Amino acid sequence: MGSPRRLLLISNSTLHGGGYLGHCQQHIQSFLGQNVRRVLFIPYALHDRDAYARTAREKFESLGYGLDSIHESCDPVEAVRKSEAIFIGGGNTFRLLKALYDNCLIHEIRKRVLEDGIPYMGSSAGTNVATVSINTTNDMPIVYPPSLQALGLVPFNINPHYLDPDIKRTHMGETREERIHQYHEEPNTPPVLGLREGTMLLVEGDNATLQGVTGARLFLRGKKPTEHEPGTDFSFLLTDSNPLNP
């Protein structure tokens, strides 16, 4: 029997020229469907949680869903246990993961998603923490979580906001591709899916499909990166026999 997990892992909350979650709102509605009435929002990635919750609540209410923010609950663990769906928003991935550990939510979220099958949505940092680890985040380590290991809802890593090298720029800093290559110089490192802005990964059980308006770049240790358009089937990344690393 396959996994009951249902994930929508979004690269970014806001796409240039649009509003908050505007570029993916149809995907959200299709993903959550009519059975979900309320979404549990986890705003830990930003400092001003009240303002973040207001922004998210306004958006989800416009889509027909109620929204409860976990920081308003006196018992975050119980809030997760009672949730119909979970959305973790973007911000600083280190701050987010530390708060998940501090509030004893890693195990609870994994159980609700992987065993109970409630829908999980992540955007940017919320997508990072859905993966094996936050090693491929773009963020600065402004705080120190007890581990870089994350929720592990999928057995690979994601790099949100993936940027291609700009050959016209004179900036000589490392490209995103070079940094991912450095990650793969370490042993036993999993695949990394570079999600460009406007792209998301839909996971339904043991099936994973690239969605959105831009493409993605897949990095496998010891192999050349490959380009993939929306509609690509990435289900092989979910299996134990995926082409990890030589």
Residues labelled as active-site residues: 124, 139, 161
Cα–Cα dist 203/209, whole Å: 7
Q: Copy the structure tokens of residue 71.
A: 């920081």
Given a contact cutoff of 8 angstroms between Cβ atoms, the answer to whether 126 and 173 are in contact is: no
Say if residues 131 and 124 touch (Cβ distance below 8 Å).
no
CA 75, CA 11: separation in Å to the nearest integer?
29
**What does the alpha-carbon distance between residue 220 and residue 156 come to, in Å, rounded to a whole number?**
10
CA distances from 133 to 19, 126, 185, 223 (A): 29, 12, 16, 21
Interacting residues of 102 by C-beta distance below 8 A, sequence separation 6+: none
Task: Give 28's contacts (C-beta < 8 A, 6+ positions apart).
Answer: 8, 21, 63, 121
